[in-house]
Chains A and B, each alone.
Chain A
Amino acid sequence: MSTSKKISKKDIGKILSQWSQEFTVLVPSKEGNVSKMARWDGKDTRFMDSHRNTVHPVKANFFPPMEEMFSFQKNKEGYHIEPAPPDEHKLLIFAIRPCDANALAILDMAFKDGYEDPYYLSRRKDTVLIGLGCTNPYDSCFCTSMGGSPSDSTNVDIMLTDIGNEFLIEEISEAGKELVAKTEDLQEAKKADEAKAKKVKETSYDKVTRKIDTRDIDKKLLACFENKDYWEKVSAKCISCGICTFLCPTCYCFDINDDSFKKRGARFRSWDSCAFPVYTRMPMENPRGEKWRRVRQKVCHKFEFFPMNFGSIACVGCGRCIRLCPVNWDITQTIESVPEIT
């Protein structure tokens, strides 16, 4: 008895419309030729044609480049503080890539650690993730080395696999099962469809050719922490811009700043990056004033400190940092070149 379902590509518009009744549906979109997950316009389904992965990681939908935390105003009674209006949209993200879904799981850990971040978590709550397996990974992708794969469904609610004219559906979570159950216009999948999906997954896996070895990477990094020569060499061409951290799906550093307008003020938080020298600037001293220290921080945070605290590497292998770097600084080359422990 086969219970799995599939979606005909022709019916995507219909199905997204159904989902739009309950959710705010986000789909891969382009703004000024920069792709990101944004609200579906209710009509166009051509976004699927060119979607490999978005430039903006999906984190931007939960932890945006800037957000207002609260605003304040002085009136006759004193200061009045107004929290930012809660985000009550129930999000459904369609065609999220496995790496980005895995990255959200990493961010969840960070934003729940000790202090529960209300801004991130309120947006993240009740979000439904519809994953779409990659059939055409970039040459910068290395998810298979980071515990994922182009068809990894660990952190999505529903997984779709492209089998030509249809997407085969796999219900992963309870929320996913519920959603599939109440969705109309789905078709019954046949045995042949499942076989096809299996083949697609295998082929996609092999298309990810960039491989790194992360065995004992935390120990190796610990051992070479003071190896200035190594870090200087690795960081030589870095220009200390914020691209790799801002557009990393797992980087979560932020800055907080008060802005005043004519009659009120507001506190904003915005993305910050350990690549900037001012990130750690303080009176008298900047512990990461030199470039090699900043590059070391970035690498070690992802591959040494985060695993130490959370038991998982804070990199999913989406390859954005390699793809978007103006000087082609490549984290996989760095990880591969970390000296062996002697």
Chain B
Amino acid sequence: MNQESERKPRILGFLCRWCSYAGADLAGTSRKKYPANIEVIRVPCSGRVDPLFVIKALRLGFDGVLVSGCHPGDCHYQTGNYRTRRRMAITKKFLEYVGVEPERIQASWVSASEGGKFAEVVTKITKELKEIEPNRLFDDEE
């Protein structure tokens, strides 16, 4: 079985430990179906995500990156997700200007009780990324 080809597109998800990661967990325990295209890194807060991580993921060949945290006002650390919002807003705009498809940079608010929403978000992003070319932005020789 060729796992590699089945997992196209590949998505890297940065999920906040308090909300989105728990949301993803809930999606699993409540047997929601969503594509297995996302690989998850748990972060203490979505505010931990340096735009550098997003660019590095693209450099490593991920087709898309999802940064997901608590809804505004729900951050465990009060303001982490607000900062993420500003950062991701400029990152997305700027990368688009440089020549990166906007579909590759994704952000969402998913709370611990929103297993369904998490499944939905991943399904939608996977669909969008299937519609664009695989990531060959930083194409090294192989």
Q: Which residues of A are interface residues toward B (Cβ below 8 A)?
A: 261-264
Per the bound structure, the CA–CA distance linking A262 and B141 in Å amounts to 9
B140 at interface (Cβ–Cβ under 8 A)?
yes
Chain A contact residues, majority secondary structure: loop
Q: Which residues of B are interface residues toward A (Cβ below 8 A)?
A: 61, 140-142
Question: Shortest Cβ distance from A340 into chain B, in angstroms?
Answer: 50
Per the bound structure, the CA–CA distance linking A264 and B140 in Å amounts to 11
Chain B contact residues, majority secondary structure: loop
Residue in chain B with minimal CB distance to A263? B142
Question: Shortest Cβ distance from A264 into chain B, in angstroms?
Answer: 7
Per the bound structure, the CA–CA distance linking A47 and B50 in Å amounts to 46
Per the bound structure, the CA–CA distance linking A263 and B141 in Å amounts to 10
Question: Shortest Cβ distance from A290 into chain B, in angstroms?
Answer: 28
Residue in chain B with minimal CB distance to A259? B140
Q: In the complex, what residues of B have CB within 8 A of residue A263's CB?
A: 142
Q: In the complex, what residues of A have CB within 8 A of residue B142's CB?
A: 261-264
Q: In the complex, what residues of A have CB within 8 A of residue B141's CB?
A: 261
Per the bound structure, the CA–CA distance linking A263 and B142 in Å amounts to 7
Question: Shortest Cβ distance from A298 into chain B, in angstroms?
Answer: 31
Q: Considering the complex of A and B, which 3 residue pairs feature the smallest CB-CB distances, nearest first? A: A261-B140, A262-B142, A261-B142
Residue in chain A with minimal CB distance to B61? A262
Per the bound structure, the CA–CA distance linking A264 and B142 in Å amounts to 8
A261-B140, A262-B142 known; 6 other A-B pairs, CB under 8 Å? A261-B141, A261-B142, A262-B61, A262-B140, A263-B142, A264-B142
Per the bound structure, the CA–CA distance linking A262 and B91 in Å amounts to 26
Question: Shortest Cβ distance from A283 into chain B, in angstroms?
Answer: 25
What are 8 pairs between A and B in contact, CB < 8 Å? A261-B140, A261-B141, A261-B142, A262-B61, A262-B140, A262-B142, A263-B142, A264-B142
Q: In the complex, what residues of B have CB within 8 A of residue A264's CB?
A: 142
Residue in chain A with minimal CB distance to B140? A261
Q: In the complex, what residues of A have CB within 8 A of residue B140's CB?
A: 261-262
Residue in chain A with minimal CB distance to B60? A262
Per the bound structure, the CA–CA distance linking A261 and B140 in Å amounts to 7
Question: Shortest Cβ distance from A85 into chain B, in angstroms?
Answer: 14
Residue in chain A with minimal CB distance to B141? A261
Per the bound structure, the CA–CA distance linking A261 and B138 in Å amounts to 11
Question: Shortest Cβ distance from B53 into chain A, in angstroms?
Answer: 19
Per the bound structure, the CA–CA distance linking A263 and B61 in Å amounts to 13
Question: Shortest Cβ distance from B142 into chain A, in angstroms?
Answer: 5
